[in-house]
Amino acid sequence: MIISSKCKNCKEQIPYKTNTSDKVEFAMENGKFVELQCEKCGDKGKYHIDSFYAKPSKLALIISTIIFLLGTPVILYLVWDKIINSSCVLCIAFIFIPIIIPSLIYGIMVKNDRIRVNTFNRHNINGL
Report the predicted TM-score, pTM, of the whole model to 2 decimal places: 0.65
Q: Given this model, what pLDDT does residue 124 score? A: 67
pLDDT given at position 125: 64
What pLDDT does residue 87 have? 73
Q: In terms of residue numbers, what domain contains 94?
A: 58-122
Contact (CB, 8 A) for 5 and 20: no
* pLDDT tens per residue across all 128 residues of the chain: 788 889 888 888 888 888 888 888 888 888 889 898 888 888 888 988 888 888 888 888 888 888 888 887 887 788 777 777 777 777 767 767 777 888 888 889 889 888 988 888 886 666 54
Give yes or no: residues 22 and 68 share one domain: no
| Residue 3 and residue 15 in contact, taking contact as beta carbons nearer than 8 Å | yes
Q: 18, 38, 54 — which closes off a domain?
A: 54
CA 46 to chain centre: 27
Judged by DSSP in three states, 2 sits in strand
Tally of domains within the chain: 2
Judge if 112 and 64 occupy the same domain. Answer: yes
Give the residue ranges of DSSP H helices in 1-128: 23-30, 58-85, 89-122
Decide if 127 is inside a domain. no
